[in-house]
Every structure is written in structure tokens, then in C-alpha cells.
Amino acid sequence: MTSLGRGASVALTDLEKSYDRVAAVAGVSLDIRSGEFLTLLGPSGSGKTTTLMMIAGFETPTAGDIAIDGTSVVGMPPYRRNIGMVFQNYALFPHLTVEENIGFPLKQRGMPKPERAKLVGEALELVHLPGYGGRYPRQLSGGQQQRVALARAIVFKPRLLLMDEPLGALDKQLRENLQLEMRRLHADLGITFIYVTHDQEEALTMSDRIAVMNDGLVAQVGSPEDLYDRPSSRFVAAFIGESNFLPATVRGMEDDVVVAECEGAIVRAICPGRPASGDRVLLTTRPERLRFTDGAWSSSAPQNRMNVTVTEAVFAGERCRYMLQAADGTAMVLKEPSSAAIRRRAVGERTEIAWSVADTILV
Ligand code: ADP
Ligand code: MG
């Protein structure tokens, strides 16, 4: 037998699930590495829960394969897969104490009481709830209940933990605290986490890699930086963070850089493929990467430049947000950190903006 890490590897191959011939999952292939924190991110209805349920064994694939540590688990009942699972709505047993809730999976596996007590104690420590064992779920806050659900999911030392929007019911502050705790727990346990969320900020904060889902398919897989800096499609660029989109016409290539005409200006962009001269394409860039050229700013990197008019100016505390309009009418957003030392722009002002070629992507 080959030596395995503490975390399971999961391979999804052409995975499909249809209900009444409508595909909830339409052909997902994804390799999740041992010990990885992988997030399925996508809008509501994109197939995240269905994918997770098939991995857990609560739904049967219509087609395709799921392998855990290299062995197909299709047809294996959920309890034999040894996977921990946390849902959005806690799903604690209301009539059992915290200790009994957490010990439940161990009791199911026939573990004797003294051994059970030891593992339950350890799990309570891991989720920062020692001393809460005798309480009932109704005596706990939402955040505490979710910690108990988490403890119950890891108490039997699974090699894979699945979580479906586990923080969705909590308020923002608590959610952010628990996000950090989940990351810590992931580092401590060293097991594989597959996490589902529709919240792009949460996905960016927590994940080693993110698989962006749309209409039952994986649109792109990569690290948070990959997805934010190098989105491969308009969907990903728009779903993760905020993006400007510039329609352009290709005029040529300079090595891996595409030269395009856009709003009367020549704009250069990073381009994975090789579009032909005359092709109509879409370029994208992030609002915080744009700068006013007459501001306190300089860069030695190659820049794109464009003349614009300010159409809206909003002071939003830590940053100022400007709506700009280019010559042919394309709207763009520019965000800059607010500072008493930076001149505020007025609506109607005509000015020039610049941004790096490296921050301009053809999607
Ligand atoms: P997500 O978790 O990304 O919001 P789901 O996996 O829950 O998406 O659902 C994907 C699609 O499959 C949705 O259109 C949903 O309505 C449909 N679907 C999910 N479960 C069922 C079911 N049991 N019966 C019929 N349609 C379903
Ligand atoms: Mg869901």
C-alpha cells in the first residue's frame, strides 16, 4: 500500500447529475489534492450542493466517476466513505446534549464510552468550546451551534470534510471570525476540506484553490490570485470581485501581448490565445488598478492610457470610487485609496487614466 497523507485526495471525472433530464451537474472534472482547502464557488443553482452530495454519497451520479484516494466510491454507502459533513442549518439533535451530539458518530460506530469521552473532549477543545458539553443546542448561540456541528463532523477523524455554506446563517462579524478559525482548524488537522459558498470574499479569504461553478460546470479552477488576476472568462471576471469590461478590436500581437483598439486608444492586454487581426474581443481590468495620470503616481511597467470624463464621484470612507466614461461611451469604475493628500475629482472633469498592461486581460 502506498503511504497516504492525512487528507484524502478526491477525483471527479465527467460527473453528472440530472433530475427529470435537467442537468444540475453537467460534467464536472476536478482533482482535489490531499490536504487541500478547495472551495466550490458559484451562484445559487450552479450545482455546488449536488456535487457535494454526490461526493458524500447522498446522491447517485447519473454519469461519471468519483474516486477517493484512487478508489471509485460510486455505489458505496455514505457511512463507509468516512467523510465528515457540515450543513448550513447545523442539523444538531435538539434532545441531545452537546457531548451526546458530538459523540453520536462514535456511538454509531460502536466505540466504548470511555474512548468516546476522550475524543469528544478533544473535539470540543479544537472548536474552542470546552465546558459546554452538558448544554443543549437551544442554550447555544448560532455560532456555538455551528462549532458543535463542526466538532461532530471531525470527531471520528475523517480524512475529508465537506461543508455546505456552513456560515451562511451567521452575521458578518461572526462569519469572519469563524472563517479564520476554519483555516486554523484546516492547518491543525491537515485533512482535505471541500467547502461550498456563494460568497466570493469568503472563498478568496479561505481557500488554497477555488473551483468557480456556473450552470453545472466548472468555469475555472485556480488559486485566489489566479482567479482574481487572470480570469479566463467574462463570467469569472464579473463573479469574483468587480471588473471593467472594454470591447476592443484586435490589431495585432507582440509576443504574448495582444494589441487592440478600444475607445479610440491603443490598449495592450495579456492574452492566453492568439486572436486574429480584426477580431472583436473583450478586455477586462480591475477598478483598483486604474490611476489618474495627473495624480501622485508613477510606474515603470508598460501602461495603457485612455481619456475619460468623470460622471460620478463617491467618497466611501477608505476609498473613493469614480464612474468614468470613455470617448465612445464605455463606462468604467476607478477606485483609489482615500487620502487628504489626494485631490478629489469633480463630476464633469475630463482627465486621463492609465493602468498596467499586466493588469489587462483578454477574456
Ligand atoms: P447550488 O447548491 O449551487 O445552489 P444545487 O446543486 O442545489 O445548486 O442545484 C442545482 C440545480 O439542480 C438547481 O437548478 C436545482 O433547482 C436543481 N436541483 C437540485 N436538487 C434537485 C432535486 N432533488 N430535484 C430537482 N432539481 C434539483
Ligand atoms: Mg446549495
CATH number at residue 325: 2.40.50.140
Please state the atom number of ligand 1 nearest to the C-alpha of residue 50. Answer: 6
Ligand number with the minimum distance to the CA of 25: 1
Please state the atom number of ligand 1 nearest to the C-alpha of residue 19. Answer: 25
Ligand 1 within 6 A of CB of 88: no
**Which residues span the domain enclosing 60?**
10-238
pLDDT for 296 equals 67
Please state the atom number of ligand 1 nearest to the C-alpha of residue 196. Answer: 2
User: pLDDT tens digits for 42-76?
Assistant: 999 999 999 999 999 999 999 999 999 999 999 99
Specify whether the CB–CB gap between 263 and 247 falls below 8 A: no
Same structural domain for residues 231 and 295?
no
Instruction: Give the cell for residue 47.
Output: 450545482
Same structural domain for residues 183 and 276?
no
Ligand 1 within 6 A of CB of 21: no
Q: What is the mean pLDDT of residues 149-175?
A: 93
Please state the atom number of ligand 1 nearest to the C-alpha of residue 40. Answer: 3
In which band, very low, low, confident or very high, does the pLDDT at 295 lie, cut at 50, 70 and 90?
confident
Q: Which of 238, 270, 285 is the last residue of a domain?
A: 238
Instruction: Give the cell for residue 206.
Output: 479561505
In a domain, 3, yes or no: no
Q: What is the mean pLDDT of residues 305-327?
A: 95
Ligand number with the minimum distance to the CA of 216: 1
Q: Which of 238, 253, 280 is the last residue of a domain?
A: 238
pLDDT for 4 equals 63
Q: Which of 205, 223, 238 is the last residue of a domain?
A: 238
User: pLDDT tens digits for 180-210?
Assistant: 999 999 999 999 999 999 999 999 999 999 9
Buried b / exposed e across 338-349, counting CB within 10 Å, b at 16+?
Answer: eeeeeeebeeee
What is the pLDDT of the chain when averaged over all its residues?
94
Same structural domain for residues 122 and 51?
yes
Same structural domain for residues 229 and 262?
no
41 CA → ligand 2 middle, Å: 10
In a domain, 1, yes or no: no
88 CA → ligand 2 middle, Å: 9
What is d(CA 120, CA 111) in angstroms, rounded to the nearest whole number?
12
Ligand 1 within 6 A of CB of 47: yes
8 CA → ligand 2 middle, Å: 23
pLDDT for 1 equals 44
Q: Would you give the end-to-end CA distance of the chain in angstroms?
A: 44
Largest CA distance in the chain: 76
